[in-house]
């Protein structure tokens, strides 16, 4: 593909329509596509041949060769070359990074997880988040994931990275008083764009919202908020089916909770449960013989939630408190954005049933509008990486015809290969 096709041309619109149809279909004929995209037969055949010529589609053996021929001229058959290139979705959290390599339909080829230097022993927070260290880590995790999938950079069509910072439409994060956002997103779009044709950088909670709306709890909702509830709060907001970003990427940014009674900071549900448990133990409030009273017992959110689920009264009181906190947070988002659903996402979401139940009882008192439903995500710890992969696929779909040159794997394939 030597030159990009003019995005304003009728030809380009026809190519977009047929490519979109192919991306959502399995094997198809020109007649199949024509009935959906609304083009004439000759135009449909012409643009399908052009997409074969640039390597995005492959022509398969015709219906006679495939054993599906009955009478008349056998139909030509096509499919998207989903395996000819890959996309990468990366959750570049501060503590942990998860990369997914997938084919062009989003089918997963590899998942790679790695701890950041913030966990593994850098001397202090600034050193752990140093720009060059962060940039090298992001590329290292991507390269490892590609290696695990048996691919390399030359085969990548699109990359999407999720970071714990607001991100604007250009992939940049605003200045923060502690420079934390710049350390989390140190020019990652420009860095990866030196070798990847299409690059997208987004706020991590926004990508969680994409995942929930496509494959999770919000599939049937047009207005919802996805809350990341681990160590720090984050929220992705979808209104009228559109992901909100804002001028600087700050839609849903939870720093305002510093000023909200009953919340006092953007700390996640998991963080708060562990904090309250340790404070309670330090005050001597733990009942005699309690499982967490043993020397060396792990005191974290998962331990508290596990005990609450087993009927432990002390842990149950903490989860009731966490439910009140979640109701207050959901009530604020409910007042500002009027969602039908607030879905709680992240690593501990699968254990949050007692917290969700407590929040549901309290949410009607937190706002004047009809209270949103509150649900736990089923997508687990990889929700951001899943959303990033979906966003990378979408970026590939909408951006591939803009490219002057495609990845090497998308060289035109011969019929039947």
| CATH code for position 154 | 3.30.420.40
233 and 368 co-located in one domain: yes
49 and 119 co-located in one domain: no
* 412 occurs within a structural domain: no
C-alpha dist (Å) from residue 415 to 10, 16, 62, 122, 409: 27, 22, 9, 54, 16
* 131 occurs within a structural domain: yes
* 4 occurs within a structural domain: no
286 and 152 co-located in one domain: no
C-alpha dist (Å) from residue 119 to 93, 96, 131, 164: 11, 8, 16, 16
Of 80, 105, 126, at which residue does a domain stop?
80
Each residue of 233-262: pLDDT tens digit?
A: 999 999 999 999 999 999 999 988 988 998
Of 44, 61, 80, at which residue does a domain stop?
80
Number of domains in the chain: 3
Task: Answer yes or no: are the C-beta atoms of 334 and 369 closer than 8 Å.
Answer: yes
279 and 226 co-located in one domain: yes
CATH of the domain at 43: 1.10.10.10
Which residue, 277, 257, 378, is CA-closest to 322? 277
Average pLDDT over residues 95-107: 97
112 and 236 co-located in one domain: no
Q: Quick one: pLDDT at residue 2? A: 47
Each residue of 342-394: pLDDT tens digit?
A: 999 999 999 999 999 999 999 999 999 999 999 999 999 999 999 999 999 99
* 1 occurs within a structural domain: no
| Strand, coil or helix: 180 | helix
204 and 159 co-located in one domain: yes
Average pLDDT over residues 116-145: 78
* 417 occurs within a structural domain: no
119 and 236 co-located in one domain: no
190 and 247 co-located in one domain: no
148 and 256 co-located in one domain: no
45 and 141 co-located in one domain: no
Report residue 379 as tokens.
């997508």
Q: What are the beta bridge partners of residue 199?
A: 159
51 and 95 co-located in one domain: no
* 413 occurs within a structural domain: no
23 and 105 co-located in one domain: no
Q: Quick one: pLDDT at residue 221? A: 98
CA distance 73 to 335: 62
**What's the domain range around 30?**
10-80
């Amino acid at each position: 593909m030597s030159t990009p096709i003019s995005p304003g041309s009728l030809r380009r619109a026809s190519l977009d329509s047929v490519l979109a149809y192919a991306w959502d279909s399995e094997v198809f004929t020109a007649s199949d596509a024509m009935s959906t995209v609304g083009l004439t037969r000759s135009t449909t055949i012409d643009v399908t041949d052009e997409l074969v010529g640039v390597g995005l589609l492959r022509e398969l053996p015709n219906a006679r060769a495939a054993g599906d021929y009955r009478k008349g001229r056998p139909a030509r058959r096509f499919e998207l070359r989903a395996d000819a290139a890959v996309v990468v979705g990366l959750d570049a959290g501060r503590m942990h990074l998860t990369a997914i390599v997938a084919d062009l339909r989003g089918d997963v080829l590899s998942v790679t997880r790695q701890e950041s230097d913030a966990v593994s022993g850098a001397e202090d927070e600034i050193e752990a988040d140093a720009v060059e260290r962060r940039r090298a880590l992001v590329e290292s995790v991507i390269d490892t994931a590609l290696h695990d999938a048996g691919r390399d950079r030359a085969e990548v069509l699109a990359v999407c990275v999720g970071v714990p910072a607001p991100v604007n439409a250009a992939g940049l994060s605003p200045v923060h008083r502690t420079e934390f956002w710049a350390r989390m997103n140190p020019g990652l779009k420009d860095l990866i764009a030196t070798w990847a044709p299409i690059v997208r950088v987004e706020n991590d909670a926004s990508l969680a919202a994409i995942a929930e709306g496509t494959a999770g709890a919000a599939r049937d909702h047009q207005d919802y908020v996805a809350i990341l509830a681990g160590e720090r709060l984050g929220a992705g907001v979808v209104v009228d089916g559109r992901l909100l970003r804002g001028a600087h990427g700050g839609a849903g940014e939870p720093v305002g909770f510093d000023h909200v009674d009953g919340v006092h900071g953007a700390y996640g549900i998991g963080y708060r449960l562990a904090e309250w448990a340790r404070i309670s133990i330090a005050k001597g409030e733990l009942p005699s013989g309690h499982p967490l009273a043993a020397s060396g017992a792990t005191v974290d959110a998962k331990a508290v939630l596990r005990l609450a689920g087993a009927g432990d009264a002390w842990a149950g009181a903490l989860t009731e408190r966490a439910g009140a906190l979640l109701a207050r947070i959901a009530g604020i988002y409910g007042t500002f954005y009027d969602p039908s659903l607030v879905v709680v996402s992240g690593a501990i979401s699968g254990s949050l049933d007692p917290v969700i139940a407590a929040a549901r009882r309290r949410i009607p008192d937190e706002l004047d509008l009809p209270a949103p439903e509150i649900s736990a995500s089923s997508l687990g710890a990889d929700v951001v990486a899943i959303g990033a992969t979906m966003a990378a696929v979408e970026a590939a779909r909408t951006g591939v015809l803009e490219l002057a040159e495609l990845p090497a794997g998308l060289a035109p394939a011969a019929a039947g290969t």
